[in-house]
Amino acid sequence: MYSALLCSQALGVVFLAQSSKVFIGLECPIRAVIGLQCPGCGSSRCIRAIGNGDLMAGMRYNPFLTVSLLGLALFGFLGVSSPVAASHLTNFFRSHQQFFVSLLVIATVVFTVARNLF
């Protein structure tokens, strides 16, 4: 149930970004001050591109967010198609929460360093 709720929220954000008449593309304050891209740089353009069905553009703007949204969509699809499997997966994530939080922090740092080096 929770995965279906998360999936519907993510789809709502993508729909609102895609259907908005006004595109708000604010400059990242971190990039403006220090000149480096933060992990969230390109997120609004990424969500807009995904909302328009252009996954490749989403990957160009922010690959970390694109992969995260695809994972969230997969988790939501799993929750809708097989609630029992989603429940087991949720319990697995909860029992290994510290590991997954650490993995997410490490992945974010590696992504940020890599996107600024290359």
Residue type, 35: G
Residue type present at position 36: L
Q: Which pTM was predicted?
A: 0.70
Q: What is the pLDDT along the chain (118 residues), one digit of tens a residue?
A: 555 666 666 666 666 655 555 555 667 888 889 999 999 888 888 988 888 889 999 999 999 999 998 888 888 787 778 888 878 888 888 899 999 999 999 999 999 999 999 8
Long-range contact set of residues 111-117: C-beta below 8 Å, sequence gap at least 24:
111/39, 111/63, 111/64, 112/37, 112/38, 112/39, 115/37, 115/41, 116/36, 116/37
Nearest to 86 by CA among 77, 95, 78: 78
